[in-house]
Structure 1
C-alpha cells in the first residue's frame, strides 16, 4: 500500500513537472513564431516599398516619354498648320492682287464706257436740236400749205353751194311739173274707172294681200313638211353617229367577289379556332365569307359593293400580314374603310379630270367617286354616268349647244342614287336639290331633275340628258332589272331592323335569307334580344314581300376593356 502511494505521488510530481516544462516550451515556441512573423512582415513591407518605388519611377518615366511624344506631335501639327496657313495666306494674297488687277481693269473699262456714253449723249443732244430745227421748219411749211389748201377748199365750197342752189331750183321746177302731170293722169284715171284714188289703192292692196296669203300658206306648208322630214333624218343621224362614236363596254355587276389565295392552308387561318376569325370578319364587314371546297379561292357574298371591296382588301392585308385574330381583323377593317374613303375621292377626281370637267364642288366629287361602288339595274353607275356624259357632249357639239354644261349634267344626272339624304325622294329630284345646293348652273340643275320627267324641261340640254340616259341603259346587256329590285329588297331588310331601338348595325347576307343584327349590350339584355328578333321577324312579315324564309339573328356581345398604365 505505501508503495502504491509513493508511485502515485511520483506520478503526480512527474505530471506537474511535465506540465511546467510543457508550458515553458510552449511559450518559447510562441515567442519564436512571433519573431519569425514579424521578420517576414518586415521583409514583405520592404519588398512592397521597393516595388512601389520601382513602379512610381516607371510611371514617371512613361509620363515623361508620353509628354515628349505629345510635345513632338503638337510641334509637328503646329508646324504643318503653320505651313498650310502660310500657303493659304499666299494664295489669298495672290487672289487679292488678281482681284485688284481685275477691278482696276474693270474701272478702266467702265471709265471708257462712261466716256463713250457721254459722247453719245452729246451726239444725241446735237441730233435732237437738229431735229427740232428741222421739225420747226417743216411745221412752218405745212402751215403755209394748209393755208393755201384752206383757201382753195373755201373757194370750191362756195362754188358747190352755188351749184346746189341751182340744182334745187331745177328740182323744184321739175317737181311742180311732175305733180301737175300726175294730177292730170289721176283725173283721167278716175274719170275712166269711176273710182277715186283712195278706193283704187284699197282694192289694189286687198288683192295683193289675198294673193300673198295664198302663196305664203302654200310656201309654209312646203317648208314645214320639208323641215319635219329633214329634222327626223338629222335627229336620227345625230343619235346614230353619237352612239357609234361613244362605244362602251358593259359588265353586269353581281353580288359575289372572288378572293384568290395561294394555298388551301390559308383557309384554316381565315376560319380560325372554332370559327372565331370568320365570325369576326363577317361582323366587321357585313358580308358573308364562304369557305368551301373551291380550290385556292374564297367567295365574298354581299349586295353592297363597298362592303365587298372592304372585305376583299382586308382579307388581302390579313393574309399578307399573317396575324389573323379578331382584334387584328377589326383594326385592319377600320383601316381599310378609311383607305376606301380616300380612294373614293381619288376616283372622283380622276373621273372629272378624264372628262375635262372643272370647278366641281368637293362633295360632288366625292359622290362621283362613290358611284364606282354602286350599280343601277346591274349596270355600274360610274361607267353609266361617264357614258351619258360623253354622249351628251357629242350630241351638244352636233347641235351647237353648250358642250360643258351637257357633259356636266350627264355626269351628275344620277348623283341622287348615291346620296344618304332623304332617300324617300326620287333620285332625280334629290340629285337636282344637291346640284342646286352646290351652286351648279341652272341648266345643269334642270337637266338633272327632268331626266325622268319629274319636273318640266326648261333647258335645251335637258332632252339630251334624258335621251342619252335611255341610250346608255338600253344597250344590249347593259342592265338587269332583277338586280335592282333585289338590292332594294335587301336594303329595305336592313332599314327595317335598324329602325328598332338598341340596334347598332345590321347586315343582310346569304342573298337575303339571313339578317344579322348587332345590338348594344348596355341597352339590350339577353331577354330583350330574343324579343327583338321576334319583333323584327313580325315586322318583316307584315311590311315586305320575299320568297322563302328569312332568318333573323340578333348578336349581343359584351366587351370589357381596361388599360394598364
Structure 2
C-alpha cells in the first residue's frame, strides 16, 4: 500500500510540474500576442494618420483644380459668347446677301425665259427658211451638204493633182532621163544564174540495203548521226535515196557531206560518224572561206576582215525566196558599182556596201533581230566605216536613210531581187496578186480596161476619154498606186500607167 501511495504521489507531482510548465508556456504565448497586437495597433495608427494627410492633400489639390477649371470655364464661356455674337452678325449679313441673290436669280430666270422664247422663235424661223430653201433647191439639207463636200473634195483633189504634176514635171526634167539610163545600163550589163530555195537535201545511195546500214542496230547509227550533226535524216520508201532536213543550210551541207563520205566508205558506226563529221565540218568551213574570198575577187575587193569573209562564204548555202544570197550580194555589188561610176562616186565603196548589206543573214539563226541591224553591228565590230554600216542598217528603211550610198544600195537590192525570175513565189499567190491589182484599178470610175503586165510589175489602165480628163487620170494613177501599196505585198516596185486616148474619125463620101 505504501508503494502504491508513493507512486500516486510521484504521479501527482509530475502532473503538477506539467501543469505548471503548460501555464508558464501559455503566459509566454499570451505576452507575445499582446506585443504583436500592440505593434499592429501602432502601425494602424500610423497608416490612419498618413491616409488622413493624403486625403487632406487631395482635397486641397482638388479644390485648387476646381477653382482653376471654374476660371477657365468662365473665360471659355465669354469667348463662346463673343463668337456667338460674331456668328449672329455674319448670319444677318448672309441673310441679306441671300435675299439679294434670290432677287437676282428671279431676274435671271425671267431673262432666261425671254431668251428661250426668242430661241424658240428663231428655231421656227430657221425651219421655215430651211423649208423654203429646200423647196427652192429641190434638195434636203443632208443632200446639199453631201454634194458640197463631194464638190470641195473633187476640187481639192484636182488642184492637188495639178500641183503634184507640175512639181513632178520639174523634177523629172533633170533626173528621170539620167536615172533611167544609169539603171538600164546597170541591169543590161549584169546577169547571174539563180538557185532554188530548199530546206531539204537528197543523198543518193548505191542500193536500198544501205538504208539498213545507215539505221544501224536498233537505230543507233541514225540516232548518233542526228545527234552529232543536228540534221534530221529522213528514210522513206524513195528508192536508193534518203533526205536530210535542217533549217540551217551550213549545218545541212555538213550533214550531206558526212553521209556521202560514210556511204562511200561503207563503214558506218557511231565512232566513224563522229570522225567523218569533224572532217566534213572542217571541209565546209574551208569551202565557206574560199567562197568568201572568191566573192571578194569577183567584185574587186581585197581588204576585209577574215571573219566577214567567212560569214560571206556561209551565205553560199543560204537562199531567200529561191535566190542564192551570196550571188545576190555579188550581183548587187556590181549594180551599185556601175551606178556609182555613172554618178561620179567611188565604185569600190559602193561595191563594199552592197556586198555586205545582207551579211546579217549568216547569223539570223543564232541572233534575234532584223538581219539589217545584225549585219550593221557585225560590220561595225570588224572595223567597217560608218558609211558602210549605215548603208547596211538602212537598206530596209529600218533606219532613216542619210547618205547617197545607202540609197544606191537600196536601188541595187531592189533591182536584183525584183527583176523577173530572180525570186520564186507560188503560182497561186502570183495569180491572186495580179487579180487583186486589176480589181483595185477597175474600182475607179471611168476605167474601161485594166491589164497587169510585165509579170506584175506594171498596171496599165485604159480610161474613157469622155469621162476622165488629164487631171483626173493623174488622180486615178495616184489612188491606185496608194491602194496597191497598202493592200498588197510584193518585191520591188509596181508602175501604174493610166492611158487616156482620144480618137476622131469621119467618113468621106
Give 1 or 2 for the bigger CA radius of gyration.
1
TM-score by length of 1: 0.43
TM-score by length of 2: 0.48
